[in-house]
Amino acid sequence: MDSALPGPAYSATARTTPTRHADRARYDEDTVHAVLDAEFVCHLGFVAEGAPVVLPTLYARVDRRLYLHGSTGSRPMRTVDGRRVCVTVTITDGIVLARAALHHSVNYRSVVVHGTAHRVTDPAERALALDAVVDQVVRGRSADCRPAGAKEHAMTAVLRVELDEVSAKVRTGDVADDPEDVELPHWAGVIPVRRTLGTPVPDAALPSGTPLPGYLAHLA
């Protein structure tokens, strides 16, 4: 018998409970954090001047917090401090081709975060957040580049959203055709979708002989 105890989980709320395919919802930290850690682009949703706005931006997860980064002149960084937002992250794992058009689908992992955005002003937290965003894209990069200077910090804003009201939703598996369609003469199955990073291409001005950093060696 498996005696392992379930890990920490987020509490389901009305906003984080799907009205369709509720069986695909996940609230455990392991699933939620794994999805967030596998991506680096999120979509930030908010209301501006009475209309919904959804914008892509870079982010990083640090424990139970999300940090979003952008220009101080951008609309979200100027308008959402102290306001309710919704942040989403989606990873597509496969294209599901069914025999019936209605049953075509995708295998995916997604996370939806509801919360209040707060502008980060503490210098130590800002530095931690900005390093985390760089490392979210390429792990280990923040220690191998020039840190931001005072002028660059003045041009960059950081938002913090606590991971309190959050859920994941996951679709895996095969085709879900109706029994009466199984004998139809149409190919059905799953096309896997994978992200592949290519071989790093050095900058034209890079001095000859500059070695490829160890954190990129697996891409060579």
Domain ranges of the chain: 22-219
156-162 and 25-26 beta bridge pairing = unpaired
Question: pLDDT value at position 1?
Answer: 44
Tokens of 139: 């792990």
Angle at 125 between CA 167 and CA 119, to 5 degrees: 65
d(CA 99, CA 88): 30
List CB contacts of 30: < 8 A, sequence separation 6 or more. Answer: 7
Query: Which residue carries 């050095």 as its tokens?
Result: 202
CA distance 171 to 173: 7
DSSP 26-90: E-BHHHHHHHHHH--EEEEEEEETTEEEEEEEEEEEETTEEEEEEETTSHHHHH-TTSEEEEEEE
Of 84, 147, 149, which Cα lies nearest the Cα of 118? 84
Which tokens hold the place of 37? 């850690």
Query: What are the structure tokens assigned to 44, written together?
Result: 């930030």
DSSP 9: B
Q: Are 68 and 12 in contact (CB under 8 A)?
A: no
Q: Give, for all 220 residues of the chain, the pLDDT tens digit.
A: 454 556 799 999 999 998 888 899 999 999 999 999 999 999 999 998 899 999 999 999 999 999 999 888 888 888 899 999 999 999 999 999 999 999 999 999 999 999 999 999 999 999 999 999 999 999 999 999 999 888 988 899 999 999 999 999 999 999 999 999 999 999 999 999 999 999 999 999 999 999 999 999 999 8
Q: What is the DSSP letter of 96?
A: E
CATH number corresponding to 22-219:
2.30.110.10
- Predicted pLDDT at 76: 82
What pLDDT does residue 163 have? 97
